[in-house]
């Protein structure tokens, strides 16, 4: 195989852009065969060993399939890039060593549990609407919603020309100016929980996804990620 620039190798492996790769090289984070790389250096894929921050970088075809759980902060787009220069979840998992793709969506103004993977088969299986994986959210709303409002929130709503499945809603906490509603949905359609609240005149101050299927967010720090264990992945697949 012909030698190529390190920056191109990084993009071919789906790890980062050429510009980001050049920046990593300049920062001394990249090594070739154990020696710190220099800007513009060329390597031969399959012959030279390239590492970034101590992690071996391999072609996409040789990558181990992984799935991670991210505690997404508000203000980050669930996408890999944005032409307006806004923050994306790709930035938060850039140190995973492989290019990861979000499973499903979590809107920019929401936070909480987001799954990302480089396993296309797993992503398609989990994201397909026919599997109806439960997703649990905590919605922090103004006031103290009535029983009637909570009941109405369980009813289907039309999004993009199709009706959603019924939701499950209960009041997790109330008192003072804010109430916390636990909302369980199966579809995960565009801004579904927010639309259910808005239909009942409820103002959402914060929306956090705390569970997907058998997985719970737990105490994972905001902006951080962790790899799922094989046991967790098997259990998640078992719920599909």
Provide the annotated active-site residues: 107
User: For tokens 């030279």, what's the residue?
Assistant: 48
Long-range pairs for 146-155 at CB < 8 Å and ≥24 separation?
149/200, 149/201, 149/202, 150/181, 152/199, 152/200, 153/181, 153/183, 153/196, 153/197, 153/199, 153/200
For residues 59 and 163, what is the distance between their CA atoms, to the nearest angstrom? Answer: 42
* Alpha helix positions (H), 72-170: 89-92, 120-127, 147-153
For residues 116 and 154, what is the distance between their CA atoms, to the nearest angstrom? Answer: 29
For residues 9 and 151, what is the distance between their CA atoms, to the nearest angstrom? Answer: 55
């Amino acid at each position: 195989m012909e030698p190529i620039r390190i920056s191109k190798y990084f993009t071919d492996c789906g790890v980062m852009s050429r510009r980001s790769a050049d920046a990593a090289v300049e920062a001394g984070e990249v090594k070739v065969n154990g020696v710190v790389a220099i800007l513009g250096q060329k390597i031969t894929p399959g012959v030279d060993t390239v590492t970034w921050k101590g992690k071996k970088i391999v072609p996409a075809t040789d990558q181990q399939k992984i799935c991670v759980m991210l505690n997404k902060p508000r203000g980050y787009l669930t996408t890999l890039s944005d032409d307006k220069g806004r923050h994306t979840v790709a930035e938060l998992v850039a140190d995973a060593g492989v290019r990861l793709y979000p499973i499903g969506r979590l809107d920019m103004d929401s936070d909480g549990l987001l799954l990302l993977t480089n396993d296309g088969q797993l992503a398609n299986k989990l994201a397909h609407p026919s599997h109806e994986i439960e997703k649990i959210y905590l919605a922090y709303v103004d006031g103290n919603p009535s029983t009637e409002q909570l009941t109405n929130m369980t009813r289907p709503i039309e999004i993009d020309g199709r009706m959603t499945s019924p939701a499950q809603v209960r009041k997790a906490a109330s008192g003072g100016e804010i109430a916390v509603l636990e909302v369980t949905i199966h579809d995960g359609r565009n801004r579904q929980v927010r639309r259910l609240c808005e239909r009942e005149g409820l103002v959402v101050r914060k929306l956090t996804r705390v569970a997907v299927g058998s997985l719970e967010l737990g105490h994972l720090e905001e902006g951080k990620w962790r790899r799922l264990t094989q046991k967790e992945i098997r259990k998640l697949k078992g719920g599909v």
